[in-house]
């Protein structure tokens, strides 16, 4: 997969030394091959080995620089004796050899210190830094010995060679926002909650929110899984945020806000992507005006995610942190194409972060939106949440349209059928329970395992406990109405038929198994699409095949210069953390763009993307130095009989004791990766 001259990455033994480039054997891994935007790398060195792409690499210097990076770059470290002194000794001794002053005993001392670091360091960074160094000292011993024997500098010791290093961790790599997870967990472990929050906010402004409703892809790539169970990464984020809120401190921003650059950016949409863009641009001294169509801020997390999962008073704190940096919010303003044309002229850049707010159809017979009882999930959740969180009541017209007597969504005595399987559909059915529905049914094409994978174990089980009926392997065939009022649904049943050719099993309709459900409402929550009426037609912005705005997924600029897009309107309906990650990156690109007019990625960002491509987490790795069998903490939840009648937050969060013991399970799997040119 990667063309290498030599590689020990993950214990592979690729040695093309002396072979012609055409005959080189390839590495099995997608190794970082890029040095910066313009150049390829000549070597990659990291926690699990070293790869050379060029015969001319000065390996002694490479080893020295890697040790130096550990010294210089270790802002995350200096916190254990072996790492602190050992790292320095590694560097001093390697440099001594590289500059031609080393002795044979230095090699022994290097090995001795390396072993001590490997065995006793606090984080993986200290444990793994010696790994590639020992590889180099073993496979290129002659180069080291030559420096020692001849007392002469290594071959390129006095030349200008560039090295770019990055600290990562499996969880950080997996997190779309690349949150420095080990740092915020360490803050909890050390009971330094301000530090914890500031670590989170470096790349994730919505700490309260993503401490509650993040689907935590990081936990799927938590290295602790190799030992027992993943760390409860997501929930530990709450502690820092709660600390700030509970004690009435001002906001702990991750860095001091830069003085105003005089530049300004328009952000369309005050959801997670819009908020994130504004937050990081404001930190960089760029003024932001955020335009929001709804009367309330927060986007889909506010009007989509129910109060019992994401209490508004907490999300409001996240939003206040953004406002605290001087971000200007303009609500009740639906941005039009004309306004966009104006924005392009008035602002230095524009971010489109309008999400996906159109519920897609379930694709059944007689699926006519004008039938009373057919109610799109997004609209349904808007109405529920605007009332629960802000007391905004239904208008007379809406009451008629939704066939509701009360001023709020009251489903007493009604039967609700939701078609879905993702988070939105879970929110619909659980809100329906809380709205007093007599019967709530979820139809899902696939099985229980898949619904858990697509949402979370907790979410699914809590819904079942609250009384939602899940019908798996099912789909609506036809809506039946009387005078445009929904009466029932014809539902088909499917079964999973294995493909005799070994391909993916196919869902096949079971003939004669179809049945009818009498119901008052059908709520499609299968997916959403983007409403992009605001884009001026003459801009002819490039779109993806899913009708979202196209970018290259790295700098998030659209096909029109200065117009950026992030979040669901770019990616399609996805998670909060995905929106945050995109917007964080975009804001970094935009901060440079408004100053220079150029679209660039920083060295760090290039490395970040390369590492993600390679993947930092290795599920087959054997973990040593940690005791297995320590169970993951589970926080207490509100009793089902109490919670299904109201909108109180279901999850209490960890007790302090749980939080500390959970934080102590974290293995601090920091690694350093470095490329050389």
Binding mask 259-288 for another protein (x = CB under 8 A): ------------------------------
Cβ distance to another protein smaller for residue 89 or 362: 89
Cβ distance to another protein smaller for residue 82 or 272: 82
Asked if 370 interacts with another protein (CB under 8 A), we say no
Cβ distance to another protein smaller for residue 538 or 657: 657
Structure token digits, residue 493: 């049943």
Pick from 122, 309, 314, 430 the residue near another protein by CB under 8 A. Answer: 122
Cβ distance to another protein smaller for residue 71 or 529: 71
Report the alpha-carbon distance of residue 602 to residue 326 in Å, rounded.
26
Asked if 543 interacts with another protein (CB under 8 A), we say no
Q: Quick one: angle between helices 141-150 and 59-72, nearest 10?
A: 90
φ, ψ for residue 330, nearest 5 deg: -125, 105
For the CB of residue 190, give the shortest distance to another protein in the complex, in Å: 7
Cβ distance to another protein smaller for residue 630 or 640: 630
Asked if 626 interacts with another protein (CB under 8 A), we say yes
Phi-psi region of 260 (alpha: psi -120 to 50; beta: other; left: phi over 0): beta
Cβ distance to another protein smaller for residue 124 or 382: 124
Pairing of strands 521-524, 349-352: unpaired
Structure token digits, residue 650: 């279901």
Cβ distance to another protein smaller for residue 320 or 636: 636
Pick from 56, 484, 639, 664 the residue near another protein by CB under 8 A. Answer: 664
Sign of CA dihedral 601, 604, 607, 608: negative
238-267 core/surface letters (b: 16 or more CB in 10 A; e: else)? bbbbbbbbeeeeebbbbeeeeeeeebbbbb
Structure token digits, residue 590: 């935009």
For the CB of residue 259, give the shortest distance to another protein in the complex, in Å: 21
φ, ψ for residue 219, nearest 5 deg: -70, -25
Asked if 655 interacts with another protein (CB under 8 A), we say yes
Cβ distance to another protein smaller for residue 70 or 374: 70
For the CB of residue 231, give the shortest distance to another protein in the complex, in Å: 14
Cα dihedral: 530, 534, 537, 540 (round 10): -60
Binding residues with another protein: total (CB under 8 A): 55
The answer to whether 48 and 131 have CB atoms below 8 angstroms apart is yes
Residues between 221 and 260 that touch another protein (CB under 8 A): 246-249
Pick from 26, 37, 56, 112 the residue near another protein by CB under 8 A. Answer: 112
Asked if 88 interacts with another protein (CB under 8 A), we say yes
Cβ distance to another protein smaller for residue 498 or 625: 625
Pick from 259, 501, 545, 627 the residue near another protein by CB under 8 A. Answer: 627
Kindly report the number of other CB atoms within 10 A of residue 380's CB atom. 26
Report the alpha-carbon distance of residue 193 to residue 206 in Å, rounded.
15
For the CB of residue 242, give the shortest distance to another protein in the complex, in Å: 9
Pick from 30, 79, 264, 446 the residue near another protein by CB under 8 A. Answer: 79
Asked if 191 interacts with another protein (CB under 8 A), we say yes
The answer to whether 154 and 61 have CB atoms below 8 angstroms apart is yes
Pick from 12, 25, 54, 92 the residue near another protein by CB under 8 A. Answer: 92
- Burial class, 367, CB count within 10 angstroms (exposed 0-12 / middle 13-18 / buried 19+): middle
Cβ distance to another protein smaller for residue 122 or 383: 122
Asked if 76 interacts with another protein (CB under 8 A), we say yes
Asked if 544 interacts with another protein (CB under 8 A), we say no
Cβ distance to another protein smaller for residue 75 or 397: 75
Structure token digits, residue 229: 């169970």
Pick from 20, 512, 624, 641 the residue near another protein by CB under 8 A. Answer: 624
Pick from 438, 625, 634, 639 the residue near another protein by CB under 8 A. Answer: 625
Cβ distance to another protein smaller for residue 88 or 509: 88
Asked if 134 interacts with another protein (CB under 8 A), we say no
Residue among 485, 478, 335, 343 nearest 419 (CA): 478
For the CB of residue 117, give the shortest distance to another protein in the complex, in Å: 9
Pick from 14, 33, 59, 77 the residue near another protein by CB under 8 A. Answer: 77
For the CB of residue 636, give the shortest distance to another protein in the complex, in Å: 8
- Burial class, 640, CB count within 10 angstroms (exposed 0-12 / middle 13-18 / buried 19+): middle
Cβ distance to another protein smaller for residue 397 or 657: 657
Report the alpha-carbon distance of residue 395 to residue 262 in Å, rounded.
43
Report the alpha-carbon distance of residue 184 to residue 240 in Å, rounded.
8
- Burial class, 338, CB count within 10 angstroms (exposed 0-12 / middle 13-18 / buried 19+): exposed
- Stretches 86-94, 338-346, 402-410, 501-509: which one binds another protein (CB under 8 A)? 86-94
The answer to whether 298 and 270 have CB atoms below 8 angstroms apart is yes
For the CB of residue 70, give the shortest distance to another protein in the complex, in Å: 7
3-state secondary structure of 396: helix
- Stretches 300-308, 343-351, 506-514, 622-630: which one binds another protein (CB under 8 A)? 622-630
Report the alpha-carbon distance of residue 198 to residue 412 in Å, rounded.
45
Asked if 130 interacts with another protein (CB under 8 A), we say no
Report the alpha-carbon distance of residue 260 to residue 230 in Å, rounded.
42
Pick from 26, 37, 56, 190 the residue near another protein by CB under 8 A. Answer: 190
The answer to whether 418 and 425 have CB atoms below 8 angstroms apart is yes
Long-range Cβ contacts of 477-482 (<8 Å, 24+ apart): 477/364, 477/365, 477/514, 478/364, 478/365, 478/366, 479/364, 479/365, 479/366, 479/367, 479/368, 479/371, 479/374, 479/522, 480/366, 480/516, 481/366, 481/371, 481/373
Residues between 16 and 75 that touch another protein (CB under 8 A): 70-72, 74-75
Pick from 189, 216, 309, 317 the residue near another protein by CB under 8 A. Answer: 189
- Stretches 52-60, 190-198, 255-263, 474-482: which one binds another protein (CB under 8 A)? 190-198
Residues in contact with another protein by CB under 8 A are 70-72, 74-89, 92-93, 109, 112-113, 116, 119-122, 189-192, 195, 246-249, 622, 624-630, 636, 652, 655-657, 659-661, 664
């Amino acid at each position: 997969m990667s063309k290498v001259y030599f590689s020990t990455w993950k214990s592979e033994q690729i040695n093309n030394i002396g072979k012609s480039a055409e005959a080189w054997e390839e590495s099995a891994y997608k190794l970082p091959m890029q040095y910066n935007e313009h150049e390829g790398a000549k070597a990659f060195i990291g926690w699990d080995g070293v790869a050379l792409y060029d015969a001319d690499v000065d390996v002694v210097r490479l080893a020295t620089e890697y040790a130096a990076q550990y010294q210089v770059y270790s802002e995350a470290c200096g916190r254990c004796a072996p790492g602190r002194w050992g790292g320095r000794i590694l560097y001093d001794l390697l440099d001594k050899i590289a500059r031609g002053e080393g002795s044979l005993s230095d090699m022994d001392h290097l090995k001795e210190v390396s072993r001590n670091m490997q065995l006793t360091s606090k984080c993986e960074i200290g444990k793994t830094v010696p790994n590639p160094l020992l590889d180099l000292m073993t496979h290129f011993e002659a180069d080291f010995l030559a420096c020692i024997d001849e007392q002469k500098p290594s071959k390129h010791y006095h030349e200008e060679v560039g090295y770019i290093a990055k600290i990562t961790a499996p969880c950080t790599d997996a997190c779309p926002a690349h949150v420095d997870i080990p740092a915020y967990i360490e803050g909890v472990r050390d009971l330094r909650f301000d530090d914890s929050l500031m670590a989170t906010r470096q790349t994730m402004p919505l700490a309260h929110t993503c401490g509650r409703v993040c689907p935590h892809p990081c936990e799927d790539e938590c290295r602790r899984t190799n030992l027992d169970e993943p760390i409860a990464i997501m929930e530990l984020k709450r502690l820092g945020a709660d600390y700030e809120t509970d004690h009435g401190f001002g906001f702990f921003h991750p860095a001091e806000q830069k003085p105003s650059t005089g530049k300004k950016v328009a952000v369309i949409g005050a959801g997670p992507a819009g908020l994130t863009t504004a937050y990081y641009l404001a930190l960089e001294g760029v003024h932001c005006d955020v335009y929001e169509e709804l009367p309330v801020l927060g986007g889909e997390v506010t009007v989509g995610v129910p109060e019992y999962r994401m209490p508004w008073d907490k999300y409001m704190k996240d939003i206040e942190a953004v406002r605290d940096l001087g971000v200007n919010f303009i609500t009740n303003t639906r941005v039009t194409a004309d306004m966009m044309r104006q924005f392009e002229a008035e602002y230095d850049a524009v971010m489109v972060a309008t999400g996906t707010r159109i519920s897609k159809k379930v694709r059944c017979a007689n699926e006519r939106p004008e039938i009373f009882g057919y109610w799109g999930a997004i609209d349904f959740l808007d109405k529920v949440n605007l009332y629960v969180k802000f007391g905004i009541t239904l208008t007379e017209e809406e009451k008629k349209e939704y066939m509701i007597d009360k001023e709020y969504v009251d489903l007493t005595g009604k039967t609700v059928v939701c078609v879905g399987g993702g988070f939105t559909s879970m929110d619909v059915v659980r809100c329906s329970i809380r709205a007093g529905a007599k019967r709530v049914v979820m139809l899902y094409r696939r099985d229980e395992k898949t619904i858990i994978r697509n949402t979370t174990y907790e979410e699914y089980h809590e819904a079942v406990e609250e009384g939602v009926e899940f019908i798996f392997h099912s789909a609506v065939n036809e809506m039946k109405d009387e005078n445009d009022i929904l009466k029932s649904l014809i539902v088909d049943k499917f079964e999973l038929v294995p493909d005799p050719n070994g391909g993916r099993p196919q869902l096949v309709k079971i003939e004669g198994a179809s049945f009818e459900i009498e119901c008052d409402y059908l709520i499609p929550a299968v997916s959403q699409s983007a409403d992009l009426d605001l884009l001026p037609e003459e801009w002819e912005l490039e779109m993806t095949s899913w009708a979202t705005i196209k970018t290259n997924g790295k700098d998030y600029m659209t096909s029109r210069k200065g117009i950026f897009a992030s979040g669901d309107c770019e990616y399609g309906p996805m998670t909060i953390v995905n929106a945050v990650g995109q917007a964080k990156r975009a804001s970094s690109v935009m901060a440079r763009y408004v100053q220079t007019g150029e679209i660039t990625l920083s060295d760090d960002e290039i490395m970040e993307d390369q590492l993600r491509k390679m993947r930092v987490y290795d599920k087959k790795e054997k973990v040593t130095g940690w005791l297995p069998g320590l169970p993951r903490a589970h926080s207490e939840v509100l009793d089902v009989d109490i919670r299904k009648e109201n909108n109180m937050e279901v999850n209490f969060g960890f007790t302090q004791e749980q939080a500390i013991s959970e934080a102590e399970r974290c293995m601090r799997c920091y690694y350093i990766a470095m490329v050389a040119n």
